[in-house]
Amino acid sequence: MILNSNPAFRKLLKLRSRVRFTLAALLVLVHAFFVGGIAFYNDLFARPLQDGGTLTIGILAAVVVIIAMVLLEWVYIFISEKWLDPMQQKVLSGEHND
């Protein structure tokens, strides 16, 4: 395989795994924050958002966590469509010129 020593391909691989694993780690953190609210710091999640109100920090956390998950996905789609996929096209067309 010539491609594995192709610098453009190595660069694509490196960038893609960096983006993929960074975002995956962030997702695990976000999820762990929510599970932790049930497993470890339930006092925090039980606190009301405002004095005398019924809504708790836990309910807000659930909605924020869901939105954060969607935002991480937006980031991945944005980065890959703007930079990674064009890089992939370039590697592919370079390969055909060989």
Partner 1 sequence: MVSANAWAAAESQSGNTSAIIIFVAFVAATLWISYWASSRTNSSSAFYTAGGNITAGQNGTAIAGDFMSAASFLGISGLIFTAGFDGLILAIGALAGWPIMLFLMSERIRNLGRYTITDVVSYRLQQRPIRMIATLGTISVIIFYLIAQMVGAGKLVELLFGIPYTVSVAMVGVLVIIYVTAGGMLATTWVQIIKAILLLSGAALMCVLALVAFNFNLDSLFAKAVEVHPRGELIMQPGSIFSDPIQAITIAVSMMFGTLGLPHVLMRLFTVPDMKAAKKSVFYASNMMALFYIMTILIGFATIAFISGDPQYYTDGKLIGGSNVAAIHLAHALGGDLLMGFMSAVAFSTILAVVAGLTVAGSAAISHDIYAELLSKGKPDPRKEMFISRITVVVLCSVAVGLGVLFQNQNVAFIAVMPMVISASVNFPILILAMYWRGFTTRGAVIGGLVGFVSSIALIVGGPKVWVSIIGAEAPLFPYDYPALFTMTAAFITMVVVSITDRSAASVQDRALFDKQLVVAELASNKKM
x/- map, 76-95, partner 1, by CB under 8 A: xx--xx---x--x--xx--x
d(CA 79, CA 29): 20
Out of 11, 67, 82, 97, the residue judged to bind partner 1 by CB under 8 A? 67
User: Long-range contacts: 9-14, Cβ < 8 Å, 24+?
Assistant: 9/91, 11/87, 12/84, 12/87, 12/88, 12/91
Binder among 7, 53, 82, 97 for partner 1 (CB under 8 A): 53
Residue carrying structure tokens 């190595």: 10
Residue 29 binds partner 1, judged by CB under 8 A = no
Contacts of 33 (CB under 8 A, 6+ apart): 61, 65
Footprint of partner 1 on this chain (CB under 8 A)? Answer: 1, 3-4, 9, 12-13, 16, 19-21, 23-24, 27, 31, 34-35, 37-40, 42, 45-46, 53-56, 58-59, 62-63, 65-67, 69-70, 72-73, 76-77, 80-81, 85, 88, 91-92, 95-96
